[in-house]
Chains A and B, each alone.
Chain A
Amino acid sequence: MHTTKALAEANRLMTVCNSCRYCEGLCAVFPAMEMRRSFADGDLNYLANLCHSCGGCYIDCQFTAPHEFDVNVPRTLAIVRSESYAAHVWPQAMSGVFRRNGLVISLLTAATISAFFIGMMLVHSSGGMFRAYADADGSFYALMPHNVMAGVFTAVSAVAALAMVLSIRNFWRAAGTSLPIAMAPADIWQAIRDAATMRYLEGGGQGCYEDEAVGTDNRRFYHHLTFYGFMLCFASTSVATSYHYLLGMEAPYPWYDLPVVLGTIGGIGLLIGPVGLLLAKKKRDPMVQDDSFRGMEVGFIVMLFLTSLTGLALMLMRETAAMGVLLALHLGIVAALFLTMPYGKFMHGLYRFTALVRYSAERRLHM
């Protein structure tokens, strides 16, 4: 009936929880569960992506091991969630990548692209690659034509975006197996607010579960740094692109200009956030986590960190001889990040957001 062992276990647990419901005040998963009597794979994937893995329902549950009912909702939903990325991915041929998409794949991709850029720079700068360029020389573009850079990134983004949109469409359709809904703009707004605050990471208010005695909120804090850091960097790139095409202003920009300010603040968030998340992961009770997709998770976190690290290094050392290599490295890493996005942990954000939209609509229509 269910396509994987984890889905069958999630189905068993949701049957237990639906007869209990003690956790219904903790997060969105339980009220969404209560709207259903039986759970198809699509329902379970949806519920799993609503779960923020706060761990609240694990410490509150009277039926966790050693009790014979052996209930562990956070861990089971974590496995289902990871599997759900692969189950809905477009193209399906890529579904195997999630389990393997560790650091190695990402780094190899980044290295390959960086090497390509270095080769190009060597050719384009005809021997001037290892020279220091002043900003006034139009430093980056002295080594690489803007059109090449823009062309490569437009192509990479388009491929990634297409894959993401089609994957999310698969997920959205499957999630509607048991409970048909029609989405409204209000639902998107609600989901934006829920996602922006990570409302459901709080386990009903006690903060996410790290140690039974002290509920702490660290994961939310580091996740905010990472998420908003990423968004600021994204904004920085977008502003820079508009400067270039709309205002005809070429990079590099002075330190006080918007792209640099946004990028620097975001970059710092992207340095601290991922490290904090990695440490928090280590500190958490292994009982509420799942290890089988660790590579995918670590891979994504490290790539974010490297993106920021090389970006900041580039900004600081752009007038030195290291600029060329740093630029190639940074662009390689960013391109690899984009390319691997639809096939790794990045997707958790999109699936979760989609699940939150759906949850808002379900509440509106069925509660």
Chain B
Amino acid sequence: MEEQRQDYDVLVIGGGNAALCAAIAARSAGASVLVLEAATKFYRGGNTRHTRNMRCAHDRATETLSGPYTEEEFWDDLLRVTGGETNEDLARHMIHQSKAMLGWIAKQGVRFQPSLGGTLSLGRTNSFFLGGGRSMLNALYKTAGGLGVDVLYEAEVVELEIEDGFFCSATYMHNGERRNVGARSLVAAAGGFESNIEWLKEGWGEIADNFLIRGTSNNRGTVLRMLLDNGVDRIGDPTQCHAVAIDARAPKFDGGIITRLDCVVFGIVVNKLSQRFYDEGEDIWPKRYAIWGRLVAAQPDQIAYIIFDSPSLRRFMPSLYPPIEASTIEELAGKLGLDPAALARTVGDFNAAVQPGTFNDAILDDCRTEGLTPPKSHWAQKIETVPFYAYPVRPGITFTYMGVRVNKQARMIMADGRPAANMFAAGEIMAGNVLGRGYAAGIGMTVGSVFGKISGEGAAGNAHN
């Protein structure tokens, strides 16, 4: 590695799914490629290492996908979750390209399996990586290495030399030294800014101090900032992100998937004043999973508690930390630091409002409350069987959406509307182009793979001209 060539056709910044897809595509198109990854080899591919699946359109069932998922259906889903806040042209392009992606990714050595136990609702739409995201990354790195892509770990890019929308070179830190490398084209695939709490505060205010970051601590948006400062157009709202309610006991960074909780629909959720604040049974869980981060962020001190009773304990996937357990609601309140009388009142009011019905967590059942605000529209069952359980939850930020604007070639667009001469972007750093808000499982990887491959091909083509 010491005898690195000074200049490359394509420089890729980042080391996740988007970066590796770009590097492999560029190298396959004949370009010389250097990947600069800020993380150590172990932590390479910051958020990608935590993933489990990707969403691609396909016309027929496969060995690992239980049925067809057409482009049109994918588009309908995206339209619904984003509430229309997406660039239709770009999104449809991504969805169309996603079809070929399954085969392309598999060709790079990534293996798939049928959907994981506990996520069966995704068995038709999403392809699950055998062994998860780190296994997927291992395969991509192995393929990239075999093709002759150079990779440097612990190489954080700290400066970009850009002249009037034209990328010249990048400066990075390696072994405590500043180094410079030039390239004919740039692919920025360095993730979002979710682990930069100060930047999150610019959108969210001080409450961002109470957020937990589910993935890498390396996605601080430094490259995004440099690009914006150099005149690349910004897209998206700084508060928009994928945020779920995760166990409040999770570490500040990198707790990953295992701190997730899937039990909201089985109980009630109260804030620190012991009050409910949202319909826990509004819709099936996979459709509501990604709204609870924002909901909890809006509560005092950004904390909430999921309260349920013993019949529900085995109805959802286990998670890392055991639930807090008590034999009365008052005792539970005490353990959670809540006002026992207030919690008992909330649970009592809820129980009194529960209507008779036939519980079925596989459908929108008829178990609901009557005369309660907010209501619980489905799966409402009295919380009455000891022991009682609770999980404390906080907003867990998965990744941010605000990024650089790109066109269909994944080429960055400058603030004055001109396409950048030789700069491309893929992954979280440009997710806001398709995800104005909302989320559907597996789209993060689709954005990275599809635009990664496009940007790598574009960057290689650019370098040859």
**Residues of A in contact with B (beta carbons under 8 Å apart):** 15-16, 18-26, 31, 34, 37, 56-57, 59-64, 66-69, 203-206, 212-213
**Residues of B in contact with A (beta carbons under 8 Å apart):** 42, 49-50, 52, 111, 113-114, 116-118, 128-135, 138, 142, 145, 251, 254, 256-260, 314, 317-320
CA distance A34 to B117 in the complex (A): 8
Q: Which of B52, B142, B254 contacts A213 (CB 8 A)?
A: B142
Does B118 lie within 8 Å of A21, measured CB to CB? yes
Does A37 lie within 8 Å of B131, measured CB to CB? no
A-B contact count (CB 8 A): 83
State the Cβ distance, A331 to closest chain B Cβ, in Å: 48
CA distance A60 to B50 in the complex (A): 10
Chain A residues contacting B257 (CB-CB under 8 Å) are 19-20, 22
CA distance A61 to B258 in the complex (A): 12
Q: List 21 A-B contacts (CB under 8 A).
A: A15-B318, A15-B320, A16-B320, A18-B318, A19-B259, A19-B320, A20-B256, A20-B257, A21-B118, A22-B116, A24-B113, A26-B130, A37-B314, A37-B318, A59-B138, A62-B134, A67-B254, A69-B258, A205-B111, A205-B130, A213-B142
Chain B residues contacting A34 (CB-CB under 8 Å) are 117
CA distance A19 to B257 in the complex (A): 8
Chain B residues contacting A37 (CB-CB under 8 Å) are 314, 318
Chain B residues contacting A203 (CB-CB under 8 Å) are 131
Chain B residues contacting A64 (CB-CB under 8 Å) are 42
Q: Which of A24, A63, A69 contacts B116 (CB 8 A)?
A: A24
For B41, the closest partner residue in chain A by CB is A212
Does B318 lie within 8 Å of A22, measured CB to CB? no
Chain B residues contacting A21 (CB-CB under 8 Å) are 116-118, 317
For B52, the closest partner residue in chain A by CB is A22
State the Cβ distance, B58 to closest chain A Cβ, in Å: 19
For B113, the closest partner residue in chain A by CB is A25
Chain B residues contacting A20 (CB-CB under 8 Å) are 132, 256-258
State the Cβ distance, B354 to closest chain A Cβ, in Å: 27
Does B118 lie within 8 Å of A25, measured CB to CB? no
Does B131 lie within 8 Å of A60, measured CB to CB? yes
Chain B residues contacting A18 (CB-CB under 8 Å) are 318
For B319, the closest partner residue in chain A by CB is A19
Chain B residues contacting A63 (CB-CB under 8 Å) are 256, 258
For A35, the closest partner residue in chain B by CB is B117
Chain A residues contacting B138 (CB-CB under 8 Å) are 59-60, 212
A21-B118, A23-B131 given; 15 more Cβ-contact pairs under 8 Å: A16-B320, A19-B319, A20-B132, A21-B116, A21-B317, A25-B114, A26-B130, A56-B131, A59-B134, A61-B134, A62-B133, A68-B254, A204-B113, A205-B111, A212-B138
Which of B50, B257, B258 gathers most chain A CB within 10 Å? B258
For A61, the closest partner residue in chain B by CB is B134
For A36, the closest partner residue in chain B by CB is B318
Chain B residues contacting A57 (CB-CB under 8 Å) are 131
Chain B residues contacting A26 (CB-CB under 8 Å) are 130-131
Chain B residues contacting A67 (CB-CB under 8 Å) are 42, 254
For B40, the closest partner residue in chain A by CB is A66
